[in-house]
A = this chain, B = another copy of it.
Amino acid sequence: MRVSETLIPTLREDPGEAETVSHRYMLRAGMIRKVAAGIYTYLPLGLRVLRKIEKIVREEMNRAGAQEVLMPVASPAELWRETGRWDFYGKELLRFKDRHERDFCLGPTHEEVITDLFRREVRSYRQMPLNFYQIQTKFRDEIRPRFGLMRGREFIMKDAYSFDRDEAGARLSYQKMYDAYNRIFARCGLTFRPVEADTGLIGGTSSHEFMVLAETGEETIVYSEEGTYAANVERAEVLPPDASELPAPRPLTAVSTPGRRTVEEVTKFLKIAPTQLVKTLLYTTGKDTVAVLVRGDHDVNEIKVKHLLGATDVELVVPERVPELTGAPVGYAGPVGLKNIRVLADWAVKAMANFVVGANKADTHFVDANWARDFTVDHFADLRNAQAGDPSPRQDGTLKTAKGIEVGHVFMLGTKYSQAMKATFLDAQGQEQLAVMGCYGIGVSRVAAASVEQNHDAKGIKWPIPIAPFHVTLLPLSQSEPVTQLASSLYRSMQESGIEVLWDDRDERAGVKFNDADLIGAPFHLVIGEKGLAQGQVELKVRQTGDTKKIAPDQALPTLTTLIQAAS
């Protein structure tokens, strides 16, 4: 493709709207443009990246025996009512009425539609197992869409749904997808890690997320470097500590802590370590309020609290309500003397004695508090986030943490949807059975963004070869006859050899061309300068490493062919 014939509106300045690297660079490289909050047009270069990812996804899904279908963007409410998700899904589900006042939503996921297809069309165990996938535009009405393609409202997703005869079959289907996902992200040239994950709004019995590792990632994962354990911190289990032998309790004492509210302020003031303090956080499920106790250096894991309470949602109590619940201003809540509120505590608290807690009184804390003696814990449980240094719950080493971007998610659904929608088949004995399901998503557009988060430098993007919009940017630095002639002949021969080449045929200064080439980030840049050419040389630059090499013009094609083939 010639730059002069392609819309690649590169920007020199960082656009104000962009908060993350991928958002910034994809805008600056002229790959995407915003149409509305979280809604983008893909320009030619951006679309080329998407199509490459789609192709890899499609090949691996087909290889794993999944069948491609295409379900509609508009999804009728009736199906969503059957599973209860019409009410349950919340405002992310964009609902609308058609001209006949019938309710629809823009599909954020397609369990209902595919399960409806299954129950209508599949009768017998002989037709199973089945796995259907699609690559389709999805819509989630995020409250705060941001980060460009990373958290858009309209996005492109590959979703797949498997239907098996039994649990064992479903596990096999799940494993096939797990393996396919590993191949897909590896083929995309990404550094990633599958981790155990929470099942969220989709539900089901277990799940793994595929995380592209990047410092800018929104998700935190924990993993054992020595072992195999890896999980999203939302999900990661924490083993209970040994609480068998506790020091003898000292008497409970109130101390004045004027204006000290945070863990940092209180521990500094009292000259103790955060491990000697217990934080008290008040949560509401909408109906119910609970106090959650964790050690001062730990963070509450709200998903664990939610699961323990069997609630669909938990939120911190708004600050305005704290005085009425505790009798004290924010910052002084504690379990001692707390009325009509259930107290939940993380396991770590069980191993503590003589700790500091808020006294439910302004500017006051208790020291030498002890559970059981000073207050009742209704329930000890794993309620905190795992953190670096914790032992792995698989007992295979010590945990480390990393940041990641979720690009894929596989779920064992069990019979959640087949039960709600009566999706049955007849087994070998002629008995009606519920299909055992799995579902499997890849955020195709998010993979593109995650790749940029992982592969970039101060000048721009460094696309991995398999998903780069072009393999090579061809950069003739003058409009002179020999330079143009060589550029033109290399362009043709590269195209004929299946090398995807972007020819910067503009009459622009060398600096402009170099900057755009670095920004756009094709893996290889072939520079034709007048001086070099006079000496029988062109320059090959590898974007990933920045290495450059002078080569003879007739070596360009074989050299590039070798480099590109090595990556596929």
Contacts and interface: CB of A to CB of B under 8 A. Distances in A.
Contacts of A70: 41-42, 47, 50
Give the 6 A-B residue pairs with the shortest CB-CB distance, closest first: A96-B96, A42-B70, A36-B76, A9-B121, A91-B99, A39-B72
Nearest to A143: B99
A113 interface: yes
Nearest to A76: B36
Contact of A74 (B33, B36, B65, B102): B36
Contacts of A97: 96
Contact of A36 (B5, B30, B91, B104): B104
A333 B63 CA distance: 70
Given A65-B5, A68-B44, A117-B33, A153 B74 contact: yes
B67 A6 contact: yes
Contact of A7 (B7, B67, B72): B67
Contact of A98 (B5, B71, B102, B141): B141
Nearest to A77: B36
Nearest to A96: B96
Contact of A120 (B33, B116, B141, B154): B33
Contacts of A153: 74, 98
A44 to B, nearest CB: 5
Contacts of A139: 73-74
A43 interface: yes
7 contacts: A7-B69, A36-B74, A41-B69, A42-B69, A44-B67, A74-B154, A91-B99
A94 B96 contact: yes
Contact of A154 (B50, B72, B99): B72
Contacts of A65: 5
A137 interface: yes
Given A7-B132, A113-B35, A74 B44 contact: no
Given A7-B130, A33-B120, A36-B104, A69 B96 contact: no
Interface string A150-167: 000110000000000000
A380 interface: no
B39 A74 contact: yes
Among A7, A50, A97, the one with the most B-chain Cβ atoms within 10 Å of its Cβ is: A7
Interface residues of A, number: 54
Contacts of A94: 96, 98-99
Interface in A104-139: 104, 106, 113, 116-117, 120-122, 127, 130, 132, 136-137, 139
A76 B130 CA distance: 39
A70 B117 CA distance: 28
A40 interface: yes
Contact of A72 (B41, B92, B132): B41
A281 B122 CA distance: 54
Among A6, A43, A74, A121, the one with the most B-chain Cβ atoms within 10 Å of its Cβ is: A74
A73 B72 contact: no
A75 interface: yes
Given A7-B121, A113-B35, A121-B7, A137 B73 contact: yes
Contacts of A113: 35, 41
A137 to B, nearest CB: 5
Nearest to A126: B4
A160 to B, nearest CB: 13
Interface in A485-502: none
Nearest to A122: B7
Among A6, A39, A50, A141, the one with the most B-chain Cβ atoms within 10 Å of its Cβ is: A39
Contacts of A40: 72
Nearest to A43: B69
A39 B104 CA distance: 11
Contact of A35 (B9, B47, B71, B137): B71
A35 B137 CA distance: 17
Given A47-B69, A50-B70, 15 more contacts: A5-B65, A7-B67, A36-B72, A36-B74, A36-B76, A39-B76, A41-B69, A41-B71, A44-B67, A47-B68, A72-B137, A73-B154, A91-B99, A94-B99, A96-B96
B35 A72 contact: yes
A51 to B, nearest CB: 9
A320 B65 CA distance: 62
B99 A141 contact: yes
A549 to B, nearest CB: 33
A120 B130 CA distance: 47
Interface string A20-51: 00000000001001011001111110010010
A102 B73 CA distance: 20
A7 to B, nearest CB: 6
A433 B30 CA distance: 24
A75 B121 CA distance: 35
Contact of A117 (B41, B72, B116, B122): B41
Contacts of A136: 137
Contacts of A9: 121
A40 B42 CA distance: 26
Interface in A508-540: none
Contacts of A35: 71-72, 75-76, 113, 116
Contacts of A116: 35
